[in-house]
């Protein structure tokens, strides 16, 4: 919290999963905190087929496998 207004870089989170959805600038008025569903902690590099998920309790990022939009097959039955 600051006594002066400031504009900072924030990292936006999806409200239901806390996954990283983009970065932007946020104006923070004096004596207030960050907007909801964001952090000022920089996410890690995100490799293909992964998403970055923020843990608000530990204030850390983790990488999770993510395959939305990919074609996948069941190799046990060939479908």
The answer to whether the CB of 66 falls within 8 A of the CB of 51 is: yes
- Give the pLDDT score at 79: 60
Q: pLDDT tens, 3-56? A: 999 999 999 999 999 999 999 999 999 999 999 999 999 999 999 999 999 999
Give the model's confidence band at 2: pLDDT under 50 very low, under 70 low, under 90 confident, else very high.
Answer: confident
């Amino acid at each position: 919290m600051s006594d002066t207004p400031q504009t900072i870089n924030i990292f936006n989170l999806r409200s239901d999963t806390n996954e990283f959805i983009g970065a932007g600038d946020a104006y923070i008025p004096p004596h207030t905190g960050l907007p909801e569903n964001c952090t000022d902690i920089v996410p890690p590099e995100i490799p293909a087929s992964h998403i970055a998920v923020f843990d608000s309790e530990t204030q850390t990022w983790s990488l999770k496998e993510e395959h939305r939009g990919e074609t996948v097959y069941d190799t046990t039955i060939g479908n």
